[in-house]
Structure 1
């Protein structure tokens, strides 16, 4: 089986990039099962060691364990978020409870926790580097936070809660993606899309053809709570339809309604938090974050609330003034906000963001903007690797070099929206950098830019340019 499954042996591609050209959906679950078994064997060796716990035989050994599982997980979850086809979604559903059970088998192992805690208790007497001390503290903190100190009955209940939550969150994501695709807004008349550029219209026509709707235009929902087209569509009803579709995802009844799923998630998270000694899920989550507590977050939001509300009221008044002077005066609604913001910006600053788009051709922004900035700031250079295949034809692979010419890793850019990709923009590792393992990073940036018709340039909005720079910052 190892020889037949490309995930069960180290990739021979540069930087250990997963061999996506050979990987099939049916390879993932057997690879995970194999990796689970191997990881548990490694954990058992650490937990049952007869030697007194030390930094090397416990913390370093724990850090080195699970390498195969990490590789398989990075390869799979990259695809599950960016190209969640029906076979991948099926694997994800089967995998969710298995992954939750495996993580608990490691994090809740009382023998392993006792050894990690013993090393942690010796920290003040050990001669460790700052990095090594952090490693001890992180593993101890993560196991304690996960519930390793609970008794057997509470651990059993915690594992059941984690299993159910893993299934629910996977169901939530599947429902959201399906409903997002179903709610793509169909227009029969191009006049309804007045204000869009030629490229945007061609993208909408291409999206319609992909759904078998020749002669129509389809606006897909690329963001969670809004849409880039809301700032330029002159037809108020068109803006309203797109906003309404965005806001109704997962909450309109039917098989993809997430309201019941959310109620169950909230209830089970609250029970889990109480089991772990926290008053709320928010307290449980923030305890291991920079904020430290929900109260700290609320205090920051309270400080922001008054000036934010005051500024929003001033913005609303300015927008309403423009709407009152329009040919059809009306009360500003949520779907009008972005459109009239552009009107105010043009009136006050003589700035038409639509006119900027020809200057924001995607290839130019990437190479003359993002990559040039990385060179100016850090001396980095980039070379596209057409010989390396990523998980989707739209994903491009670049090799990254330091100022001295030494190779640093791979950067993957997956720019375009598609029905199998979740909304928003994000960065995630495909291969993690590790001095211990001798691996260089392979990271991917995902965006949801509308793909133009074949032969047409990809013209970005100013917001998309900002997002591209932002996500590349995470990649750096």
Structure 2
């Protein structure tokens, strides 16, 4: 222990199999523990930088990789809580910690003596007899220092540090504002006519939401995606759908203290200035420099190619919905609060099944089992639930991940239900990443401790949680990310698991979604929650036949968001972000019946931190890869082909960022794909329609 003011529960994890002792973590301990951990890390950095011995890979790069253990642990616990179980104390501390952390890492990135040591290794890297992984680690750190301003003049370094600090604070405020708007709005329904069309599973979820909010005896529509989307799908009360949709669309743009427009404006200006300081034309060029895509032009080329096809398909879908509205004797246009409702009616007509008919066969518990079964069939690992182990919330479940010989390979935590203390969406993160370096406690390497967070509607006591097909895909998606972390088999922590380029990180997750709809998986796990009967074969066939239904709508939602993201970050400073959003959508010919999946004021991928800024496209980039990758299994005639599964594990899931992503993908597939497989999968292109080109 470096400093006694660090609460041991935050830094010395001695719970079950090395888990944190969550039951001993207290909110009031974070502030002092952060201060002590930051100071300890700074002292370690100074020791590396001031080492009188000549720089070597071991005394500089490896030392840098292992420095800051206490800070990593305190941070992992804090940011988990900030996202998944926050409160006023944590939020106030988040606004303080985010800029403090930025300032700390800016200081490291501008440490001239430390950079001189890393730069000297970089200059003679060809003489050091490094492994491929060591070369990648050295390159990552050298580029990281350059992008942190190591080569700038002192005044420019100070300005860059100021920018990063301000951006960190803005990102924290942006996310908190969205959460505040989501918590502040709800619509209580109690009259029978207001509940018209709503299926039992949704009524149960709305009743549970009402109880959570202290509203007894009614039903609550909230802005949790697990409630708002099915409400927009099934409610026959158009005026209520409109009211709920407008509240959902207005998150972050309601005026007052939680309005995000000014934050977006300042964020874009600061990002543009940062890019110029570092010698880039714009922020998108800066962000894409270390990705597979490389340039904004290449990203926009893919997005525009997909946009044209998606828009045409969506307009065809819209015409079909207009026909349904006319059949009902109504003459209103298709508006965004109508689309899901009439699309569900059209699906029932075209494929003779409804979402409510499907949902009883998609129990959360069974879909979790399906996730684990697919992982065992592909990768030979088993998930064993451990009861009575404290986690960071009572709903969180703990699993040991063991290989076929019983060896412990990882710990996995599943946090599945929505709550008001959790931000919306779904994500994977880690408390601890896999590596094989010596640890401070004398051990050799560390096991990955990975968690998934989802926002499914929590059922009433004694009832099973039932998922939509999209919910089930989300669970598979996030577990695909988790597998990327849990199957990691590298030496250095900086390239462990999901430590890959942003437009490669979604490949393992999106690829894993494909196994949800493998017939033998649905046949085994899609069983009725009351009768345990498997989904009827006829219904299963309809589900599989409908996989590309509504693809135009879904692709327009996504692609418009990605194009607006790129427009913001290639233009630089923007006086009126909403005017730019409108301008871009107008130029695209955005249908009035559809809105961006993430409008600018609540686009957390892009503005709540910069993780996906100029990077939202990466879901589609990875989708090009994942469609082609699953085709490799389809070509064998066996979705669990052992040879392909071994290649998938060894070249995609286990190597992290230790190998260039293009090289590792080609090692798995033999080539890079073109967009054809993805467009065909979505039903947006016919065979032979597109010419081949590398993704």
Aligned twin of 1:168: 170
Distance of 1:171 and 1:292 partners within structure 2: 30
Structure-2 change in CA distance of 1:251 and 1:445 (3 Å): same
Aligned twin of 2:461: 454
Displacement after TM superposition at 1:227 (Å)? 2.2
Q: Do the aligned residues in 2 keep the contact of 1:172 with 1:258 (CA within 8 Å)?
A: yes
Distance of 2:192 and 2:31 partners within structure 1: 46
SS of structure 1 residue aligned to 2:257 = coil
Structure-2 change in CA distance of 1:143 and 1:453 (3 Å): same
Displacement after TM superposition at 1:315 (Å)? 1.0
Structure-2 change in CA distance of 1:321 and 1:24 (3 Å): same
Distance of 1:42 and 1:224 partners within structure 2: 45
Name stretches of at least 5 consecutive residues in structure 1 with no aligned partner.
none
Q: Deviations over 1:145-198 (max 9, x none)?
A: 121111110011111111111111111111111111112233242432333332
Aligned twin of 2:151: 149
Q: Do the aligned residues in 2 keep the contact of 1:231 with 1:338 (CA within 8 Å)?
A: yes
Displacement after TM superposition at 1:411 (Å)? 0.9
Matches within 5 A, 1:350-369: 350-367=352-369, 369=370
Displacement after TM superposition at 1:31 (Å)? 1.4
Distance of 2:195 and 2:176 partners within structure 1: 30
The number of residues matched between the two structures is 475
Aligned CA-pair RMSD: 1.8
Q: Deviations over 1:273-323 (max 9, x none)?
A: 111112222222112222112111111112112111111111111111111
Distance of 1:132 and 1:225 partners within structure 2: 47
Displacement after TM superposition at 1:351 (Å)? 2.3
Name stretches of at least 5 consecutive residues in structure 2 with no aligned partner.
440-444, 484-695
Matches within 5 A, 1:107-186: 107-186=109-188
Aligned twin of 1:409: 410
Matches within 5 A, 1:233-272: 233-272=235-274
Distance of 1:296 and 1:146 partners within structure 2: 25
Distance of 2:110 and 2:226 partners within structure 1: 35
Match of 2:335 among 312, 333, 336: 333
Structure-2 change in CA distance of 1:420 and 1:9 (3 Å): closer
Greater Cα shift, 130-139 or 220-229: 220-229
Aligned twin of 1:200: 202
Q: Do the aligned residues in 1 keep the contact of 2:245 with 2:337 (CA within 8 Å)?
A: yes
Aligned twin of 1:64: 66
Aligned twin of 1:463: 470
Distance of 1:113 and 1:226 partners within structure 2: 50
Q: Do the aligned residues in 2 keep the contact of 1:203 with 1:451 (CA within 8 Å)?
A: yes
SS of structure 2 residue aligned to 1:290 = coil
Q: TM-score, normalised by structure 2?
A: 0.66
Q: Do the aligned residues in 2 keep the contact of 1:180 with 1:249 (CA within 8 Å)?
A: yes
Displacement after TM superposition at 1:202 (Å)? 2.3
Q: Does 1:439 align with 2:446?
A: yes
Match of 2:82 among 71, 75, 80: 80
Q: Do the aligned residues in 2 keep the contact of 1:224 with 1:424 (CA within 8 Å)?
A: no
SS of structure 2 residue aligned to 1:21 = helix
Runs of 4+ aligned residues of structure 1 deviating over 4 Å after TM superposition are none
Aligned twin of 1:46: 48
Q: Does 1:475 align with 2:477?
A: no
Q: Do the aligned residues in 1 keep the contact of 2:10 with 2:73 (CA within 8 Å)?
A: no
Matches within 5 A, 1:308-319: 308-319=310-321
Distance of 1:113 and 1:193 partners within structure 2: 63
Distance of 1:203 and 1:305 partners within structure 2: 35
Q: Do the aligned residues in 2 keep the contact of 1:17 with 1:431 (CA within 8 Å)?
A: no
Displacement after TM superposition at 1:8 (Å)? 5.2
Q: Does 1:228 align with 2:230?
A: yes
SS of structure 1 residue aligned to 2:446 = coil
Distance of 1:472 and 1:8 partners within structure 2: 26
Q: Deviations over 1:322-380 (max 9, x none)?
A: 1111243421111111121122211112122211111111112212x111111121122
Q: Do the aligned residues in 1 keep the contact of 2:84 with 2:423 (CA within 8 Å)?
A: yes
Distance of 2:226 and 2:293 partners within structure 1: 25
Greater Cα shift, 319-328 or 441-450: 319-328
Q: Do the aligned residues in 2 keep the contact of 1:183 with 1:221 (CA within 8 Å)?
A: yes
Q: Do the aligned residues in 2 keep the contact of 1:58 with 1:116 (CA within 8 Å)?
A: yes
Structure-2 change in CA distance of 1:358 and 1:224 (3 Å): closer
Aligned twin of 1:428: 429
Distance of 1:174 and 1:110 partners within structure 2: 36
